[in-house]
Amino acid sequence: MADTQQLANGNGNTVRPTRVNPVGEEEEAENIFLFWPNLIGYSRVVLAVASLYYMPLHPRTCSLLYSISCLLDALDGVAARYYEQSTKFGAVLDMVTDRGTTACLLVFLASAFPRFSIVFQGLISLDFASHYMHMFATLSMGESGQSHKSIDEGRSWVLKMYYSNNKVLFTFCALNELFFIALYLLSFSSPLLSPTLLKDPSSNSPSSPSNLGTPAAPKPSLLFASPYSAGALEMARANKMDSTVPWILAVISFPVMAGKQIINVIQLVKASRWLAEGDRLERKKKGLPRKKPSASKKAQ
């Protein structure tokens, strides 16, 4: 039978909770927070924060750190299965990290491409709403301890295929992030998407794509009072790299990214209907809606 020592001894020092096994020997309680998959999860958070630090003006460093953080998303699952350390905390940590890092990148894209900010804001909202609704529906309506990845095929074959096949799940998530990374790199290199990447103000030559954003890092004080203004930052990041590779990555990954958003919509709709189904059953148990007496009975 399990037993737990008091959390503090007479001197006020904290004592780790212990359990007693069937033969009477005490064993230390497992520290879930130090499981290998969760340690990998913490490293993902650190890499993501570091990428955000470099995001405004250092595209290569930021992309490298961000990509490693995303790729580690596959490694924590492998570690969880290998060490038999799958936990609810780890699953939630993984989902929160995914949602948070993607949202931060989309926030940057909304500022880099202000004409399309409503699109990026919509994608952030859809991503959070879809996963929150799905997670809550699973906890409320699913069996005790059921994972959000355990999908009944009768409820949605699309979500069943998406969550049950690790290769499919990884491909969609990876290419979805790749598309947004490609857009991020294009914000440094493509006057086609960012026509306000400014040319060198000291030059009197007519504007053309060849001299937009030249020099690569002009003094912000030449045009802007504050070196941290949106215009100064946009000017400082202009033409820091060639746009060929980012365009190729964006074109390749766009169909999968679009498919990922469709899956998010399906997930949101299915979770909403599942919750509504539970509401109907709950109301039925309570005798709702209550039948109102007829007009004839009222007259009596």
Kindly list the catalytic residues: 98
Determine phi and psi for 299, rounding to 5 degrees: -65, -35
Q: Where are the beta strands (DSSP E) in 162-286?
A: none
User: Residue 123 — left, alpha, or beta (φ > 0 → left; ψ -120 to 50 → alpha)?
Assistant: alpha
Question: Under a CB-based contact definition with an 8 Å cutoff, are residues 213 and 191 in contact?
Answer: yes
What is the DSSP secondary structure assignment for residue 237, as one 8-state letter? T
Q: Which of 245, 231, 235 is nearest to 186 (CA)?
A: 245
Residue whose pair of structure tokens reads 């570690």 in the numeric block: 79
Residue whose pair of structure tokens reads 């913490």 in the numeric block: 42
Determine phi and psi for 14, rounding to 5 degrees: -70, 140
User: Residue 106 — left, alpha, or beta (φ > 0 → left; ψ -120 to 50 → alpha)?
Assistant: alpha
Tokens in use for 247?
A: 């365009």
The rounded Cα 201 to chain-centroid distance in angstroms is: 39
Question: Under a CB-based contact definition with an 8 Å cutoff, are residues 80 and 37 in contact?
Answer: yes
